[in-house]
Amino acid sequence: MLINCVVYEQGRKLADIPVEDISEWIIKPGAFVWVALRDATDDELRQMQEEFNLHELAVEDARHGHQRPKIEEYGDMLFVVMRLLEADPQDAGSLHAGEVAVFVGSNFVLSVRNDSRQDFLGVRGRCEREPELLKHGSGFVLYALMDAVVDRYFPLLDAVETELDAIESKIFQRGAARTNIERLYDLKRRATVLRHAVAPLLEVAGKLHGGRVPAACAATQEYFRDVHDHLSRINGSVEAIRETIGTAIQVNLSMVGIEETETTKRLAAWAAIFAISTAMAGIWGMNFEHMPELKWAYGYPMALGLIVTAAATLYWRFRRTGWL
């Protein structure tokens, strides 16, 4: 689906144009065209390939999707892929990963968004409100798109950190270990999705400032350096979260072992109490003829008293040592 197709000159919007006129505008000095597609069809991509003279390998990647975040150069054209992350509408505890493929030339930008509900209308509005920066052309538009993608990672990261803090506060609650481990594994899966989106994009941003950079991005290197800094912060936080989750899982497993040990100790204590009672009852339950206690009037009360006394003594000792 075509979202918009706009031509700009000297940082200011000239007009919305039909797709068929793109090839006429991109040859005009000082003008560049910005086109946005969502879930593009094969026919739409084929038409864009003809209008912008896109490389067929890049078009093939955009068509099939499910690409790792990356940057590729085809002559003077850049092909950038970024992951779009959002809460999964079908599962609140998961992250859904869409993607946006961006074709960048000296006088055009084409973004193809796939499998995502997010839009970049705010990015276009921001660029149009800053004509002095938009004069930099396609390089600044790529920065604005990348900055918007990266900024949307922060709320997801904050949500993971908040939930991790909540789980950590319940780690030592009795009986909560199983629930905590399930929640921790959900968090680990979300952190892994974040890592797969951020770590490769960090490498991409590093190629757009300092040293040899593509010609389209030469005038906006400081902006890409800012994006790189944001990605470094996010990547560091994700790695710290993954380490904390791993530690928390080990602590929870240890808590499960401790709880099992406590249960075993209680069972062993009660087994010992009943064992001594059973042993005494077994002794006096033997049917030997010469057992003086059997003929004694106080034999039965004495046996009961010894059994109760022994059981009570063991119970007191176990309570004192913390087994009961």
CA atoms of 186 and 241, how far apart (whole Å): 13
SS3 state at 11: coil
CA atoms of 180 and 163, how far apart (whole Å): 11
pLDDT in tens, 91-134: 767 888 899 999 999 899 999 998 888 888 889 999 999 989 88
Better-scored residue on pLDDT, 213 or 111: 111
Q: Tell me the CATH number for domain 257-321.
A: 1.20.58.340
CATH 1.20.58.340 residue ranges of the chain are 257-321
How is domain 1-130 classified at the CATH fold level? Beta Polymerase; domain 2 (3.30.460)
CATH 3.30.460.20 residue ranges of the chain are 1-130
**Residue (of 36, 40, 35) closest to 65 by Cα position:** 40
Confidence of residue 232 (pLDDT cuts 50, 70, 90): very high
Q: Are 78 and 72 a contacting pair, CB within 8 Å?
A: yes
Any bridge partners for residue 87, and if so which? 95
Q: Are 4 and 119 a contacting pair, CB within 8 Å?
A: no
Residue appearing with tokens 């990348």: 146
Give the pTM. Answer: 0.79
pLDDT in tens, 261-281: 777 888 888 888 888 888 877
